[in-house]
């Protein structure tokens, strides 16, 4: 099947594209409605959870949909940039059963909720607890406009939950919220959710969060970084697979540039510049940033390549071979294109990007608007098509793996 699916080592036809032997993809699973994430189940290597924007999480076993893990469509305001936007399993998920989702509620505000697993393939909807934010303990993050809701959730190698928030919407951040210390919007938040289930807020402050005790007026202690516009997808370079633990953010731009921000492990307290800067370029500068210096992206691209970045992963799998090890894969949603870049680290752990390679043709005609990426238990890449399917990136020159987990099914 892998030989048929896309053994297309297509020859390079434009700049930044070259022949890619040992690189292709096949349709791993399909039949989803506006999928926006795929999350590996750490308790079963053959199971993944696929998050649908409308408010449902499907269970996929060995490429087949076998049921619903959670259905909260009745409380989700979905459409445009709203909906069920992210899911993250707690580091101790195998024992605690805790997981977190981020969604837009009926009023248009953003909610981060904790749920508990009821069985290996079902969640307990009655276990929902909405995290309470800041000194006022408000159970949502107020969203002034319908766009720029962020969406992702991810646990870092430190065990803390990272929440990327959009700037609140409209264009050019009219409230300058991404630079306002008192606002949760336009930030990367970092919280400790390893608290008792009866904790009144559902989280605490990591003691090394960089703005605890800061002189910035009214600063929220949950803030890890400033100056983000709409960090739709971000990931950590997986330490368990030999990665550095760095945080890599794909931040969606305004009208000129899409950007990738690279943050070495544990180096919070940065200001990525929005709205004063878009990418590495001055943007709206009539009000000052919260603080300086501003950190430029390691990579950006303009409207000749696309218009809405989908952040991905540093590849740490084995199937694609050494040539792809350590490369960062990302996509553009509106253009339907996929690339990777090489990352070169200096002595302080900061990265420089080079050698952009386009993989769109090699991934074949099944590729469409890429809403997200994922990885399986071995660090091999999934690509989420917003149109309803999941691709698995593979080496077409290798034989297919033998079937596993087979069962006799009697009527």
For 317-370, what is each residue's pLDDT tens digit? Answer: 999 999 999 999 999 999 999 999 999 999 999 999 999 999 999 999 999 999
Predicted confidence band of residue 22 (pLDDT cuts 50, 70, 90)? confident
In a domain, 1, yes or no: no
In a domain, 288, yes or no: yes
**pLDDT at residue 398, rounded to an integer:** 79
Among candidate residues 231, 381, 229, the one with its CA nearest the CA of residue 319: 381
Q: Any long-range contacts for 200-203 (C-beta under 8 Å, 24+ apart)?
A: 200/132, 200/137, 201/131, 201/132, 201/133, 201/137, 202/114, 202/129, 202/130, 202/131, 202/132, 203/131, 203/161
For 127-168, what is each residue's pLDDT tens digit? Answer: 999 999 999 999 999 999 999 999 999 999 999 999 999 999
Is the bond preceding residue 293 a cis peptide, omega within 30 degrees? Answer: yes
In a domain, 195, yes or no: yes
In a domain, 28, yes or no: no
For 199-212, what is each residue's pLDDT tens digit? Answer: 999 999 999 999 99
**pLDDT at residue 397, rounded to an integer:** 83
In a domain, 248, yes or no: yes
Residue 403: pLDDT over 70: no
**pLDDT at residue 138, rounded to an integer:** 97
CATH number at residue 252: 2.120.10.30
Give the range of the structural domain holding residue 85, as residue numbers without chain letter.
Answer: 58-369
Structure tokens at 391: 């691709």
For 41-60, what is each residue's pLDDT tens digit? Answer: 999 999 999 999 999 999 99
In a domain, 387, yes or no: no
Predicted confidence band of residue 402 (pLDDT cuts 50, 70, 90)? low
**pLDDT at residue 342, rounded to an integer:** 98
In a domain, 98, yes or no: yes
**pLDDT at residue 409, rounded to an integer:** 52
Residue 306: pLDDT over 50: yes
Beta-carbon contacts of 365 under 8 Å, excluding residues fewer than 6 positions away, are none
Mean confidence (pLDDT) of the chain:
93
Residue 8: pLDDT over 90: no
Beta-carbon contacts of 126 under 8 Å, excluding residues fewer than 6 positions away, are none
Among candidate residues 304, 302, 231, the one with its CA nearest the CA of residue 261: 231
Percent of the chain at pLDDT > 90 equals 90
> Coil, strand, or helix at residue 110?
strand
Report the alpha-carbon angle 28-101-384, nearest 5: 25
Domain count, the chain: 1
In a domain, 189, yes or no: yes
- pTM, full prediction: 0.93
| Span 381-404, average pLDDT | 86
| Span 95-123, average pLDDT | 98
For 237-246, what is each residue's pLDDT tens digit? Answer: 999 999 999 9
């Amino acid at each position: 099947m892998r030989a048929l699916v896309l053994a297309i080592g297509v020859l390079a036809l434009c700049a930044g594209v070259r022949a890619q032997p040992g690189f292709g993809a096949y349709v791993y699973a399909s039949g989803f409605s506006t999928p926006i994430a795929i999350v590996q189940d750490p308790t079963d290597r053959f199971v993944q959870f696929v998050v649908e924007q409308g408010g449902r999480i499907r269970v996929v076993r060995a490429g087949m949909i076998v049921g619903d893990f959670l259905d909260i469509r009745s409380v989700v305001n979905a459409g445009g940039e709203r909906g069920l936007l992210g899911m993250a399993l707690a580091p101790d998920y195998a024992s605690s059963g805790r997981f977190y989702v981020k969604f837009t509620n009926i009023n248009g505000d953003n909610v981060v909720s904790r749920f508990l697993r009821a069985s290996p393939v079902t969640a307990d909807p009655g276990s929902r607890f909405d995290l309470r934010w800041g000194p006022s303990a408000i159970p949502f993050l107020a969203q002034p406009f319908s766009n720029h809701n962020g969406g992702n959730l991810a646990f870092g190698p430190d065990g803390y939950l990272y929440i990327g928030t959009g700037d609140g919407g409209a264009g050019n951040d009219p409230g300058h919220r991404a630079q306002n210390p008192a606002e949760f919007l336009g930030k990367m938040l970092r919280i400790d959710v390893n608290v008792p289930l009866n904790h009144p807020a559902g989280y605490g402050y990591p003691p090394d969060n960089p703005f605890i005790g800061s002189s910035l007026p009214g600063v929220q202690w949950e803030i890890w970084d400033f100056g983000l516009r709409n960090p739709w997808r971000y990931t950590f370079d997986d330490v368990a697979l030999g990665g550095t633990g760095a945080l890599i953010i794909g931040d969606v731009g305004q009208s000129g540039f899409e950007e990738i921000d690279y943050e070495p492990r544990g180096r919070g307290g940065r200001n990525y510049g929005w709205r004063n800067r878009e990418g590495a370029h001055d943007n709206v500068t009539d009000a000052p940033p919260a603080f300086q210096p501003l950190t430029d992206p390691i990579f950006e691209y303009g409207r000749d390549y696309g218009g809405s970045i989908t952040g991905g992963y540093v590849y740490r799998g084995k199937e694609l071979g050494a040539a792809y090890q350590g490369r960062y894969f990302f996509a553009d949603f509106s253009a339907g294109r996929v690339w990777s870049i090489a990352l070169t680290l200096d002595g302080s752990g900061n990265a420089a990007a080079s050698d952009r390679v386009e993989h769109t043709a090699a991934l074949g005609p099944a590729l469409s608007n890429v809403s997200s990426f994922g990885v399986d238990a071995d660090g091999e890449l999934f690509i989420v098509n917003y149109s309803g399917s999941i691709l698995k990136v593979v080496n077409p020159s290798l034989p297919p793996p033998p079937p596993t987990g087979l069962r006799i099914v009697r009527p």
